[in-house]
């Protein structure tokens, strides 16, 4: 099994989107109102070469995102893309020797525009997404929430990802992506209410393809939610569950926009969690919650 980190161009957002400031509506307005732009971030998509066929997690951005609808304030004031057609996921996979026909499954962590942007390259693949996320992203309401459902390919009709009550680590529910069970999805609500992440088991190590569960490994560890999440408690709880996961087993944590994600994957650099947290887990029988202070980098 081999995982490729593929950079489908760059995105620029406000710093207050990456690290939420304040609370409630104030926090959610800061990505619009703040004048402070963050540095350009990569837009990663992931391709996994697997015995059951190649699996793509998120499809990245597309060159069409350089022109966004001006009627939407978020698109007008708060986000910018830098991507050429040859940087889209399809052509980059081709140059790795992975043709569209080789991609058996595409899993979408959520349907934001820099995650569903490469869908057009995969008309023959099985596409898995959360049904609730699909409903949220569709139609005029979806467009108002910052999705671009009108740009989905005409054939786009993903298979709903069905959760089973089989726990994985700190997560109560999961869904198998491969028959072998070495690639699964878990619900990681927060950034969007039905956001999910994909976990690849690779020997002793687990690799978390986190989508936008957090923008950075650092903000996951510090428990800093983003400027987008609607429900702060839900987002906090997800970050806590991810920290617990990292404490249970060596974990390579790969958000879709963390500038360090590709290096961490290449170097197989796992998240460091303090020894104290690990021993807490070894003796814990109840529900596990790890506070930001206990998780150290």
Under the rule (CB under 5 A), what is the footprint of Zn ion? Answer: 112, 212
User: Which one, 79 or 177, has the nearer CB to Zn ion?
Assistant: 79
- Of residues 178 and 188, the one with the C-beta less far from Zn ion: 188
Using CB atoms, what's the residue nearest to Zn ion?
A: 112
Q: What are phi and psi of 180, to 5 degrees?
A: -65, -20
**Least spacing, CB of residue 83 vs Zn ion, in Å:** 16
> Closest distance between Zn ion and the C-beta of residue 92, in Å?
20
Closest among 58, 69, 215 to 148, alpha carbons compared: 69
Instruction: Compute the least distance from the CB of residue 13 to Zn ion, in Å.
Output: 10
Q: Containing H/E element for 176?
A: strand 175-176
Question: Which CB sits closer to Zn ion, 192 or 251?
Answer: 192
String of DSSP letters for 136-165: HHSHHHHHHTT--GGGS-TT--PEEPPPBS
In the complex with Zn ion, which residue's Cβ is closer, 178 or 192? 192
Measured from the CB atom, the residue of 14 and 112 that comes closer to Zn ion is: 112
Least Å from the CB of residue 191 to Zn ion: 5
SS3 132: helix
**Coil, strand or helix: which one is 251?**
strand
Alpha carbon distance 9, 102 (integer Å): 23
Please report how close the Cβ of residue 4 comes to Zn ion at its closest, in angstroms: 21
Phi, psi of 76 (to 5 degrees): -75, -40
- Give the phi and the psi of residue 196 in degrees, each rounded to 5: -135, 160
């Amino acid at each position: 099994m081999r995982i490729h980190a593929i950079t489908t161009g760059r995105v620029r957002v406000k710093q207050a989107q990456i690290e939420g400031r304040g609370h409630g509506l104030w926090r959610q307005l800061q990505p619009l109102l703040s004048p402070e732009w963050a540095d350009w971030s990569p837009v990663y998509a992931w391709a996994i070469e697997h015995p059951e066929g190649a699996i793509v997690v998120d499809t990245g951005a597309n060159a069409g995102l350089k022109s966004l609808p001006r009627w939407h304030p978020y698109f007008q004031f708060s986000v910018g893309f830098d991507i050429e057609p040859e940087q889209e996921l399809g052509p980059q996979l081709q140059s790795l020797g992975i043709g569209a026909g080789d991609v058996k499954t595409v899993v979408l962590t959520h349907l934001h525009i820099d995650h569903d942007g490469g869908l057009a390259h995969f008309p023959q693949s099985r596409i898995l997404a959360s049904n609730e996320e699909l409903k949220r992203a569709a139609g005029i309401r979806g467009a108002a929430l910052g999705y671009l459902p009108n740009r989905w390919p005409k054939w786009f009709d993903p298979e709903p990802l069905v959760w089973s009550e089989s726990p994985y680590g700190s997560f109560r529910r999961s869904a198998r992506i491969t028959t072998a069970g070495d690639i699964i999805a878990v619900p990681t609500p927060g950034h969007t209410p039905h956001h999910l992440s994909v976990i690849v088991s690779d020997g002793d190590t687990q690799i978390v393809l986190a989508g936008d569960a957090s923008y950075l490994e650092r903000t996951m560890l510090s428990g800093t939610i983003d400027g987008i999440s609607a429900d702060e408690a839900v987002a906090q709880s997800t970050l806590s569950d991810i920290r617990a996961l990292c404490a249970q087993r060596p974990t390579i944590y790969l958000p879709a926009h963390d500038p360090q994600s590709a290096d961490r994957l290449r170097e197989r650099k796992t998240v460091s969690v303090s020894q104290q947290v690990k021993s807490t887990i070894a003796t814990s029988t109840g529900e596990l919650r790890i506070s930001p202070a206990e998780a150290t980098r």
